[in-house]
Structure 1
Amino acid sequence: MWRSSDERIDEKIKIQLLFPIISKFSQIWRLIFYTTTMKHIFVLFSLLAFLQACQTPESTTKVNYYYDLEQKVNEQIKLLKSSPVMFQKATFAEGRTEMRDINDISWEKELAFFLHANINKSALRGLYKETQMTSGDTLFKTYEATNPNLKVEKLIIGVSKSTQEFWSVQAKISSDNYLYSTQKELKMYCSNNKLQSYYIKGRQKMIFSDPEYFEIKAKRK
């Protein structure tokens, strides 16, 4: 249907007159939506705060599923840092042997493998079989992995039967994926709650490369 120029102009004017009304309505709608949303958010946060206040705080007490090796190793690290002592260390790698005396070093790094042997973790609960045997005054606690995918395959802890003093640890650790594989054998011996010696033997192989072997022996002087 043909419309005159005046009619088309009138239509444009009507539309332009509607813009303020539409804009005002849009502002009112946004205000209503914002107010309602904020009320909902406030109610939600109030409810969450109430539920949080009603919850019983979680216990911070550490639960021991297995022997706490991490605690014992950290105790030795703390002693070595507070009262430095000299150790004679021998390192065998790439067909070469290096001998040197050590005392003022980063014991956290030096004994890191022993911290990695700790299995006293919630995620590992029930995944190790524990057996015990005695030899004289020594009680040996042996933990063996029930899952072949676990990194710590075996852990043997030696403690005094009479005093529960920590004497020794032996561990086998392995890790295997499509990029590399590693195997490590660890030994640590203590006397009078003081580190006397430790031993680390390992094999590592990267993809497309030959395996590498290393061995570390250290003894208190």
Structure 2
Amino acid sequence: MAKYKPLLWIGLLLATVACERPVPPAAQEAGPGTFNLSSYLQEQRLRLEKEQPMVLKSVATQDHEPEVVETPDIDWEDELTVFEQADLSRPSLQEYYTRQEQVLEDGSKAIEFTKLEDAEPQVQYLRLVITPKGKLKQLNARLQDKNIIFFSRRAIELSTNPQTGNISDYRVEGVQKMIFGDSLRYEVQARL
């Protein structure tokens, strides 16, 4: 029986991870006055895959020096997935948040979503800054995922060129922990 114990733990781990919440599908209809982040990111992914811009990317994990690389070879679908998880444009998701809007000095609009106290959605906080022309200028969000064996918390930021609305840089800082392991802190930064 002892030789099967590791297989039992691996099976339990895989079964639990398979129960994680999937990324919500791209919103077909955005709620009133809501920026459709999934559509924006799909457009950006297609543009970036076509143009293949040079990217300066830094990846650091706790207690290690950052690894810096400059490359045009980026898997944009994988790279932008974490930002797509912050999309709250579906009306069914918005019931878990308070929403505040503010017009900034330059005419841009800041929209903040803060989760309700009793709600347990993945997106804890989201702030979008939209230019007067309706283009995304900046995104800041905090995401949290947890189940009985896995915990993950991430702070994400994305900035764009305000004239074109194209992604100019982004950052992901996070921590993840498996119940049977140590926590891992990491940071990813990229500039196009």
TM-score normalised by length of structure 1: 0.68
1:24 aligns with none
**Shift in Å at residue 121 of structure 1?**
2.5
**Secondary structure of 1:113's aligned partner:** helix
**Do residues 151 (structure 1) and 122 (structure 2) align?**
yes
**Shift in Å at residue 122 of structure 1?**
4.5
Comparing 178-187 and 126-135, the one that deviates more:
126-135
2:111 aligns with 141
Comparing 139-148 and 165-174, the one that deviates more:
139-148
**Shift in Å at residue 86 of structure 1?**
0.6
**Secondary structure of 1:118's aligned partner:** coil
**Shift in Å at residue 63 of structure 1?**
2.1
1:172 aligns with 142
Percent sequence identity is: 20
**Do residues 160 (structure 1) and 131 (structure 2) align?**
yes
In angstroms, what is the RMSD of aligned CA positions? Answer: 1.6
1:128 aligns with 97
Bigger Cα Rg? 1
Provide, for residues 15-58 of structure 1, a one-character-per-residue CA deviation record: whole Å limited to 9, x for no partner: xxxxxxxxxxxxxxxxxxxxxxxxxxxxxxxxxxxxxxxxxxxx
**Shift in Å at residue 215 of structure 1?**
0.1
Unaligned runs of 5+ in 1: 1-60
**Do residues 182 (structure 1) and 149 (structure 2) align?**
no
CA distance in 1, matches of 2:135, 2:75: 25
Task: Please tell me the residue identity of whatever aligns with 2:61.
Answer: A
2:30 aligns with 64
Task: Please tell me the residue identity of whatever aligns with 2:172.
Answer: I
CA distance in 1, matches of 2:104, 2:90: 28
Aligned positions, number:
159
2:18 aligns with none
1:73 aligns with 41
**Do residues 208 (structure 1) and 186 (structure 2) align?**
no
CA distance in 2, matches of 1:125, 1:153: 12
**Shift in Å at residue 62 of structure 1?**
3.3
* Greater RCO (CA < 8 Å, at least 6 residues apart): 2
